[in-house]
Amino acid sequence: MAYILNIETSTTNCSVALSQNGIVVGIKEDNNLEYSHAERLHVYIDEVLKVAKISIDQLDAIAVSKGPGSYTGLRIGVSAAKGLSYALNIPLISVPTLEALAHQIEIPKGAIVAMLDARRMEVYSAIYDANYNETRATEAEVLTPDSYQELLKSSIVYFVGNGVAKTKDLITHKNAQFIENKLPSAKQMCALSYRKFKSNTFEDVAYFEPYYLKDFIAIPSKK
C-alpha cells in the first residue's frame, strides 16, 4: 500500500491530492486568479491528510507537477515537495504538467494537444495520441493560423488547457475540438505518480529543479 501526496501549482489552480495505490482518496484545490499558492498550499496539505485520517509520517512519496507553467507557482510547489521529501526521507516523484493535463479528457481516436498559456500569443504545448503516448515533446511556441494544420488534416485534434482561449480564435479547422475550462490538477497526477513509484523512478532531491522551459523575465516596475 502506497500513499503519495501529489502537488500541482503550475497555474492559478492550487491543487493537492492524496492517493492510495494510484487512487484518489482526498483532494483539495482552488483556482484563485491571485496565485495564492504560498498561503494555501500547506493548509491544503494538512486538510487532505486530515480528511483521509492519514498522518504525514505514513506517506510513502511526494509527487510534484514539474512544469512547464508559472515560474512562481512551480517554484512554490517544487520547494514544498522537496522540503517534505527531505524531511520525511521519502522519494520525490516528478510528473510532467502537460501529460497530467492531457489525462483530463478521454478520446476514442485522434490527438490531444495539451497547452498552457505562456502570455502574448505563446503557449507551452505537447501532443499525445488517444493512449496518452507523447507524439511531440513539450515546446514553447508562438500560435499562428497555420499552427497544427498538418495534424488537423489527418485527424480530429482536441485542444485542452488554458491556452485554448487564444487558440480557438486562430484555428478554425473543422477537425479542431476545443475543451475549455481545464487546468492541471493533482487528481490526474495520482495514477501517473504511482506508476513512477512502482518503477522506482525518483528525482534527486538535492538537484531537482522545475521545468520552466523559458527563462523568467522580471517586468520592471513603473515609477
pLDDT for the residue 35: 63
pLDDT for the residue 158: 98
pLDDT for the residue 120: 87
| CATH classification at residue 162 | 3.30.420
Specify the DSSP class assigned to residue 126.
E
Same domain, residue pair 37 and 67: yes
Specify the DSSP class assigned to residue 216.
-
User: Domain range for residue 136?
Assistant: 105-179
Show the cell assigned to 170. Answer: 486562430
Question: 155 and 131 in contact (C-beta within 8 Å)?
Answer: no
Nearest CA among 116, 140, 112 for reference residue 128: 112
pLDDT for the residue 221: 43
Show the cell assigned to 87. Answer: 524531511
Split into its structural domains, the chain has a count of 2
pLDDT for the residue 36: 77
Residue 88 lies in a domain: yes
pLDDT for the residue 162: 95
Please list the ranges in the chain whose pLDDT falls under 70: 34-35, 214-223
